[in-house]
Structure 1
Amino acid sequence: MAINAIPDPFTPASLGPVRLRNRIIKAATSEGRSPKGLVTDELIEFHRRYVDGGVGMTTLAYCCVAPEGASAPGQILMSPKAIPGLRKFTDSMHSGGAAASAQLGHAGVVASKKFTGTTPMAPSRFFNPSSLQYCRGITTDEIARVVDQFGEAADVAVQSGFDAVELHFGHLYLPSSFLSPKLNRRKDSYGGSIDNRSRFVREVAQRVRETVGDKIAVIAKISMDDGIHGSIWLTESLRTAQLLDQDANLDAIELTQGSSVSRQMYLFRGDVPVDEFAAVMPQPLKAGVRMFGKQMMGQYPYRDLYMLESARQFVPLMRNTKLILLGGITNHEHLVTGMREGFEFVAMARALLREPDLPTRMMDDPTVQSRCNHCNKCMVTVFGRTHCVLDPGQRYRKPATAEFAAEQGKGVK
């Protein structure tokens, strides 16, 4: 790409039918501010901090397409009951000058029977080492129903005024688990080759596009690799992305890594907050986390732009779909690097959690550096109200629900 063709990350850009004021997206992160599964003023306030801080679009996470698809208590179910609150949410984001995206997902193996009341589903029978529970194999009829549920959830998003939906095809949630040869041992047309294992996500993307038409943008979040031996890796995720691009049902793909099943630190990199995780766990999990936490979650050193090396492999494959770079983006130089490498947008999470106004500050002064120190203690706050522990104004607020502290194995998405 010629130097003069590198876009300015702070200039407006088109994402499908939507025009964003800049190319910075607030990535989806668990919020913990909807204890009854409905939008609250505190949830709106949480996202307005990022809008007022200068992002082009903020992403509401995690919106379930079905009750059994929840990954933690208090998540918003995309149903008619939720529309008034969701409309209030999008109206607020729009009044601040930014677009709003809703992350749609079905947790699958990451769900817990404890609060959904049903046995979690997987492509094949699977034991989740994080939740210590078995997941049953999903039937073909149930696959078709989940595809319909994604379409119905997307329709709710349109009615609620969202500018985009983000289909959660990553982190070994149900769609992602179909892409993993470790979890998907099916013998039918949804198993076997990577083309077969990609069938489910392609059907979901197609149904959502048919539902929303050109009213809103459609994004998919895909794990390039998940850090688990024998599971998802680049050789096959590149093929999945290529197939999705050929289908032309997506406006963009956000590239991610890791899983919510095991080796969770592969997504985050940096310090492993074992003591903090143990502190919110009941016995005997508390002792287990202290003894084996680093071994279970993995240890991976942090470095800036840590997903770029893998993500750049996808750039030459895309013909119809834009790419969103995620992972270790903390300063103006990183934004420019993403644009130079061929990404149309960048997504930020922890750096914005620490400093919601970082985009505006970077635009005013390109030398500004993020204050995020990658301690990853924010991971533990998802059991209450997700926040940066170095922000006293957020740290000492009462958690939205005590149930979060009783659950284990759920991370910032």
Structure 2
Amino acid sequence: MTPDPFSPARLGPITPRNRLIKCATFEGRTPDALVTDELIEFHRETAAGGVGISTVAYCAVSPGGRTDRHQIYMRPEAADGLRRLTDAIHGEGALAAAQLGHAGAVANSISNQAPALGPGRFPAPMGMSLTKRLDADGIATLTRQFADAARQAVDCGFDGIEIHCGHNYLISSFLSPLLNHRRDEYGRTVPGRARLAREVIEAVRDAVGDQAAVWAKLSMFDGVGTPGTGKGGHPWSGLNVDQACETARLFEADGFLDAIEPTAGSSLLNPMYLFHGEAPRAEFAAAFHGAMRVGLKAAGPMFLRHYPYRDTYLLPLARELRTAVSMPLILLGGVTDRTTIQTALDEGFDFVAMGRTLLREPDLPLLMQNDPSTVSRCVHCNLCMPSIYSTTRCPIREGEVPDPLSPAGSPD
């Protein structure tokens, strides 16, 4: 029998009020790398709108792990604000999760004044530099930073920890055969490339015990090459679903995770594979200055590719993961109404994650609960995506562009 999506459900040691998770999307509300009243209100509103868990993004484990200097990194100075934030989420009846990660090659080394890190040396375009190869001491330091950040998150009231193993951020870059050419124990094979992720996950679990749920956001496909096979594949193929399934089986065997959230695409190589829908190339270019703006204008059609939107667009890949492991999974990508939620639960997914549609309507979960026929007003224009470089928002909701679903925005 398919569970009721709006009833409480177990996720490891926690029981959120329903199976709906506000996924991690950088909020653009931390100009000094600390929690602000605006960030608290953003998550309070989402919690009041009816989700079971609201995930705070992006909580870097070190100063150099941020995509730029405006993101939160976990440190003592951040504690008071983080406690106010979790208190606000709890006050609306939801639970709070923190996405912990290191941006790796996606980090802006100029902004952070710290080198971008990777499994080897390759371009880190945000800082117009090359990554620094993470050595054994660096790996030990990184693992400790994840554990310390997780412990601080729990001490500040977070109920869940999401470990970012996606989008070619640092851990994901180790998983990718396109980016990881190491010949040591952290490369060569799928178990070798997964070793860093597994050590981080174990360290996080040791740090938090059963005081928080721990799940991983795991890329199934980088959006480079072909999604389904890497056996004898093209030399320019990145991570594919077969390798992701093997990695997930290793995670399951280790026993330190409560769930996996399958994702796809690469912030470094192919971001639109995660964000199906329109590709707002001009708006992305306008969000940058200098060489980055010129580069995006020139390479926009190649870098920001168009993938037509359809409901539950990541489900075909996620089904492969559902077959590979029996542990709980969280379906992300194109979950916008009661029908798509029910589809996910019918196919054996335990929770669903929602992003853009909650920017459009933070109270959509309550609307759907009260009226199952409710349809999201998100039109998948993706104009919210470039706004992460200022203040993440839905430009339609804010009235910055006409609403195509309103009479005023409809064609004559």
Is the structural similarity TM-score above 0.5?
yes
**Pairwise mapping of residues 64-83 of structure 1 onto structure 2 (< 5 A)?**
64-83=60-79
Whole-angstrom distance in 2 between the partners of 1:266 and 1:209 = 30
The question of whether the paired residues in 1 share the 8 Å contact of 2:67 and 2:107 is answered with yes
Residue 302 of structure 1 deviates from its aligned partner by 1.1
For structure 2, the residue ranges without an aligned partner over 5 or more in a row are 226-236, 402-412
What is the distance in 2 between the residues matched to 1:166 and 1:191?
24
Q: CA shift at 1:67, angstroms?
A: 0.9
Change (3 A) 1:148 1:304: same
One-letter code aligned to 1:269: H
> Who is 1:366 aligned against?
372
Please list every run of 5 or more consecutive structure 1 residues that lacks an aligned counterpart in the other structure: 396-413
> 2:8 matched to which residue of 1?
12
Q: Are 1:381 and 2:387 matched, yes or no?
A: yes
Distance (Å, rounded) in 1 between the aligned partners of 2:293 and 2:400: 25
SS of 1:63's equivalent? strand
Q: Tell whether 2:319 aligns with 1:323.
A: no
Pairwise CA distance, 1:131:
4.9
- What letter matches 1:233 in structure 2? N
Partner of 1:249: 256
Q: Contact 2:286/2:293 (CA < 8 Å) preserved in 1? A: yes
Quote the offset at 1:393 in angstroms. Answer: 6.8
Q: Please state how far the C-alpha of 1:279 moved relative to its aligned partner.
A: 1.9
Deviation at 1:284, TM superposition (A): 4.0
Change (3 A) 1:356 1:162: same
Q: Take 2:144 and 2:204, find their aligned partners in 1: how far apart are those partners? A: 9
Give the deviation of 1:130 after TM superposition: 5.6
1:332 correspondence with 2:338: yes
Aligned-residue identity in percent: 48
Per-residue CA deviation, residues 306-338 of structure 1 (Å, 9 max, x unaligned), is 00001011123324x310000001110000000
Q: Which whole-Å CA distance do the structure 2 matches of 1:150 and 1:35 have between them? A: 23
Match of 1:313 in 2: 320
Distance 1:247 1:31, change over 3 A: same
* CA 1:150–1:72: 2 relative to 1, 3 Å: same
Q: Which residue of 1 aligns with 2:116?
A: 120
2: CA distance between counterparts of 1:292 and 1:121? 24
Q: Which residue of 2 aligns with 1:404?
A: none
SS of the equivalent of 1:15 reads coil
Where in structure 2 are the equivalents of 1:140-289 lying within 5 Å?
Answer: 140-229=136-225, 230-289=237-296
**RMSD over aligned Cα atoms:** 1.3
Mapped contact 2:22–2:55 kept (Cα < 8 A)? yes
Is this contact kept in 2: 1:270–1:302, CA < 8 A? yes
Counterpart of 2:97 in structure 1 is 101
Distance 1:216 1:121 in 2: 28
Where 1:371 maps in the other structure, the secondary structure is coil
Aligned residues of 2:16 and 2:53 also touching (Cα < 8 A) = yes
Q: 1:137 aligns with which of 106, 110, 133?
A: 133
**CA distance, structure 1, for counterparts of residue 223 and residue 245 of structure 2:** 16
Per the alignment, do residues 66 and 129 of structure 1 end up closer, same or farther by CA in structure 2, a change over 3 Å counting?
A: closer
Count of aligned pairs between the two proteins: 390
Cα contact 1:130–1:262 (8 A) shared by 2 = no
Separation in 2 of the partners of 1:262 and 1:35? Answer: 26
| Shift in Å, 1:289 | 2.3
**Amino acid aligned to 1:357:** D
Deviation of residue 117 (structure 1)?
1.1
Give the Cα–Cα distance (whole angstroms) in 2 for the partners of residues 99 and 393 of structure 1: 30
Q: 1:288 to 1:141 in 2, by over 3 A?
A: closer
Whole-angstrom CA distance in 2 between matches of 1:141 and 1:74: 27
TM-score for both structures, normalised by structure 2: 0.92
Which amino acid is the alignment partner of residue 315 of structure 2?
L
CA contact (8 A) 1:51 1:98 kept: yes
Given that 1:121 and 1:136 are in contact with CA atoms closer than 8 Å, whether structure 2 keeps it comes out as yes
Structure 2 equivalent of residue 348 of structure 1: 354
2-structure distance, mates of 1:272, 1:314: 27
Q: CA deviation at 1:280?
A: 2.4
- Gap change, CA 1:196 and 1:87, over 3 Å in 2: same
Q: Distance in 2 between matches of 1:394 and 1:200?
A: 43
Equivalence for 1:390? 396
Q: In the TM superposition, what is the alpha-carbon distance from 1:129 to its structure 2 partner?
A: 4.7
Q: 1:12 to 1:144 in 2, by over 3 A?
A: same
1:387, 1:394 within 8 Å by CA — same for their partners in 2? no
- DSSP-derived class of the 1:366 partner: coil
Output the CA distance in 2 between the equivalents of 1:285 and 1:343.
39
Q: CA-to-partner distance for each residue in 1:150-195, whole Å, 9 max, x for gaps?
A: 0000010111010011000100111010000111011100000001
Specify the code of the residue in structure 1 equivalent to 2:247.
T
**TM-score, normalization by structure 1:** 0.92
Query: 1:215-267 deviations in whole A, cap 9, x for unaligned?
Result: 11101100010101311101100000010011110011111001110221111
Deviations 1:7-42 (A, max 9, x none): 011110011111100000000001111111111111
Partner amino acid for 2:344?
Answer: G
Does the 8 A contact of 1:129 with 1:262 survive in 2?
A: no
